A and B are shown apart, each in its own frame.
Chain A
């Protein structure tokens, strides 16, 4: 891969510049930006348009062509500096890739999107192997333990990899198929609509001189309802929280009106943190906004806080609720019952995704689970949750008998 030592001035891009722009586009594509051949041609045209006097001009020219969404800026920025020569950065990248033989990458190297970029620039196999070797950053595995102790902990997430990002996108695309839409009170023009659109009818009629009245029709618009996600981040769910968050970040950027709350021993609204940012940057923000990573669970009181403080603000216009928790709560079951009942009354539909059903013989025995079950519209258990794909499959599968909460209550 050739890298130009200097950004050339005006004039048609020489053969090498054109080639380099193309290579640069490939790097961006590898790093997960949606860059197609059309963009490359645009970039060449833009470079040819003249006015490139400085490196900064060049940066913003390419930026204008390649960056189409706010969250892509971070990756572009890093890729630009690495590709169009900034020797130090390259060194840091190398370090990240060959960590076995060098000292651990310092904080600076952990800038958002770095990992995806590194993968895009070097051989992917190596990064894969490195990932496998790296032990989980959590100190202990609390999968099957649960408590109501409040442990305040910070959490650093591993940066998202290219494969993971692709998986997340796929997962969300699959969700589209089973998206629920509800009718709104708005209308749009339609040929076979049920109602008559008087305004268009009259305009059309006048166009023809008022002799003919050709009825124009309209139909009801359908729209996705707001979605509220309540996600458990306590110790027992800690293995999944990273995946959940990546998924939620994707969801947030994909559809409108999503609010995300995390709860362990307290409730945190992270909708703002998740919005419109590069996924790594979003994770960093989330991780500093939340104080109770991998602590205990108090589902009842978390729900109560949600009901009192947020429900009236976010559960409007037919909102759906998605709860991601294992339902293992040591606390007062009466409180959990009351709060679930209240939630049920203000939400149009509640879907519960339970990630802890590792074995097929699961029965709804735990008191917390039995308390929540009657208020759930749909229960989505996951038998093995290893990837975002599994998560999406669990959510996107058509509704079957096993998703009916009553079945589970009977079995218990």
Chain B
């Protein structure tokens, strides 16, 4: 462990990152561990892109938990502006202040202006909060679903992410003592501009392979029987091979395991699969395609596979 990592409590190696994530029940592959390690080491924002439900947001939560940092989340949406993302003045309190000053005969305009636009009346939003943490305790800043907002906000974010400072005209510039650990996620419903990507470390979070997915179920749903987990994973993996409009993500797999467990199923059968397909697939076209014989076909196939595997 080198001295700098010891000081700020960041993991010193890629393996340490993987361990750290695992301790919180997040099973990351080598590529993801590497990019997280680099992001922490280099102090660069981490840009995670991938289908919905593959665990992008989870990384930020797990990181914050594991490093003992605060998690500050900025959920993006269309029309997100500075007032909602950085700061807002508390207008009603300001108006009352003006009235009070009037009542008490305060006439010094200069001073009134100074008082009104002081930190007392400032409502801090996520980005500003993230810049204000004391040294050594920089929070994890999660900018979730960046693709939902528009280009204008992206452009603003560029400035914040390169200098880690924001300017409030009435107060001045506020810059971070220590830059926060930034995790940006995107579902890729829109391409994020290259200029923003350039400032980040990019990683495409894909679907896990069967082995890792079983490990994830073991970590997240420890009560579920191992045989069921194996069948579920094989089934989901087979679904992802096929042509679905939206393949089920890890979140859906976990939901499905929970659902089956709640139904006291210990093994998959066509009837149960059909009944619970809505947990796994969210598009009517996909459900129609899977219902009935198709689900049974996949089921038979994976059962045969599992049988041969166990024989070996």
Contact B78 A184 (CB under 8 A): yes
Chain A min CB distance to B80 (Å):
8
Considering residues A184, A186, A210, A211, which has the most beta carbons from chain B within 10 angstroms of its beta carbon? A210
Contact B190 A313 (CB under 8 A): yes
Contact B189 A185 (CB under 8 A): no
B152 at the interface (CB under 8 A from A): yes
Contact A316 B91 (CB under 8 A): no
Contact A205 B98 (CB under 8 A): yes
Q: When chains A and B are docked, how far (Å) is the Cα of A47 from the Cα of B155?
A: 37
Contact A202 B191 (CB under 8 A): no
Contact B91 A199 (CB under 8 A): yes
Q: When chains A and B are docked, how far (Å) is the Cα of A309 from the Cα of B94?
A: 51
Chain B min CB distance to A212 (Å):
11
- The residues in A between 201 and 255 inclusive whose CB is less than 8 angstroms from any CB of B are 202, 205-206, 209-211, 213
- The residues in B between 253 and 278 inclusive whose CB is less than 8 angstroms from any CB of A are none
Contact B150 A317 (CB under 8 A): yes
Closest to A313 in B: B188
Chain B min CB distance to A59 (Å):
29
* Given A184-B79, A205-B98, A316-B189 contact (CB < 8 Å): yes
Contact A186 B152 (CB under 8 A): yes
**B151: A residues at CB distance < 8 A:** 256-257
A334 at the interface (CB under 8 A from B): no
**A256: B residues at CB distance < 8 A:** 151
Contact A210 B101 (CB under 8 A): yes
The 8 Å CB contact of A210, one of B78, B81, B112, B191, is B112
Contact A316 B147 (CB under 8 A): yes
Contact B112 A206 (CB under 8 A): yes
Contact A202 B109 (CB under 8 A): no
B207 at the interface (CB under 8 A from A): no
Contact B189 A313 (CB under 8 A): yes
B116 at the interface (CB under 8 A from A): yes
The 8 Å CB contact of B89, one of A202, A210, A257, A314, is A202
B9 at the interface (CB under 8 A from A): no
B307 at the interface (CB under 8 A from A): no
**A210: B residues at CB distance < 8 A:** 98, 101-102, 109, 112
Chain A min CB distance to B98 (Å):
4
Contact A185 B190 (CB under 8 A): no
A198 at the interface (CB under 8 A from B): yes
**A317: B residues at CB distance < 8 A:** 78, 150, 190
Chain B min CB distance to A321 (Å):
15
- The residues in B between 104 and 121 inclusive whose CB is less than 8 angstroms from any CB of A are 107, 109, 112-113, 116
* Given A313-B191, A316-B189, A202-B116 contact (CB < 8 Å): yes
Interface residues on A, range: 20 to 34
Q: When chains A and B are docked, how far (Å) is the Cα of A317 from the Cα of B243?
A: 26
* Given A184-B150, A210-B101, A313-B189, A202-B79 contact (CB < 8 Å): no
Contact A202 B94 (CB under 8 A): yes
Q: When chains A and B are docked, how far (Å) is the Cα of A110 from the Cα of B312?
A: 66
- The residues in B between 125 and 167 inclusive whose CB is less than 8 angstroms from any CB of A are 147, 150-152
Over the window 165-194 of chain B, the binary record of Cβ atoms lying under 8 Å from chain A Cβ atoms (1 yes, 0 no) is: 000000000000000000000011111000
Chain A min CB distance to B248 (Å):
16
B245 at the interface (CB under 8 A from A): yes
B95 at the interface (CB under 8 A from A): yes
Chain B min CB distance to A117 (Å):
32
Contact A314 B190 (CB under 8 A): yes
Contact A185 B78 (CB under 8 A): yes
Contact A186 B102 (CB under 8 A): no
Over the window 305-320 of chain A, the binary record of Cβ atoms lying under 8 Å from chain B Cβ atoms (1 yes, 0 no) is: 0011000111011000
Q: When chains A and B are docked, how far (Å) is the Cα of A206 from the Cα of B187?
A: 44
Chain A min CB distance to B84 (Å):
10
Chain A min CB distance to B171 (Å):
14
Q: When chains A and B are docked, how far (Å) is the Cα of A312 from the Cα of B188?
A: 7
Chain A min CB distance to B189 (Å):
5
Over the window 276-314 of chain A, the binary record of Cβ atoms lying under 8 Å from chain B Cβ atoms (1 yes, 0 no) is: 000000000000000000000000000000011000111
- The residues in A between 297 and 349 inclusive whose CB is less than 8 angstroms from any CB of B are 307-308, 312-314, 316-317, 338, 342
Contact A206 B79 (CB under 8 A): no
Chain A min CB distance to B284 (Å):
10
Contact A209 B109 (CB under 8 A): yes
Q: When chains A and B are docked, how far (Å) is the Cα of A206 from the Cα of B95?
A: 10
Closest to B244 in A: A308
Chain A min CB distance to B185 (Å):
15
Q: When chains A and B are docked, how far (Å) is the Cα of A115 from the Cα of B213?
A: 60
Chain B min CB distance to A323 (Å):
20
**B109: A residues at CB distance < 8 A:** 206, 209-210
Q: When chains A and B are docked, how far (Å) is the Cα of A199 from the Cα of B89?
A: 8
Chain A min CB distance to B141 (Å):
23
Q: When chains A and B are docked, how far (Å) is the Cα of A206 from the Cα of B98?
A: 9
A-B pairs with beta carbons under 8 Å apart, 6 shown: A184-B150, A186-B79, A202-B89, A206-B112, A312-B188, A316-B189
Residues of B within 8 A of A (CB): 77-79, 81, 89, 91, 94-95, 98, 101-102, 107, 109, 112-113, 116, 147, 150-152, 187-191, 243, 245, 285
Q: Give 10 closest A-B pairs by Cβ, nearest first.
A: A185-B79, A210-B98, A198-B91, A316-B190, A316-B189, A209-B109, A206-B113, A312-B189, A313-B188, A185-B78
Query: A186-B150, A209-B112 given. 5 additional CB < 8 A pairs?
Result: A199-B89, A199-B91, A209-B109, A313-B190, A338-B285
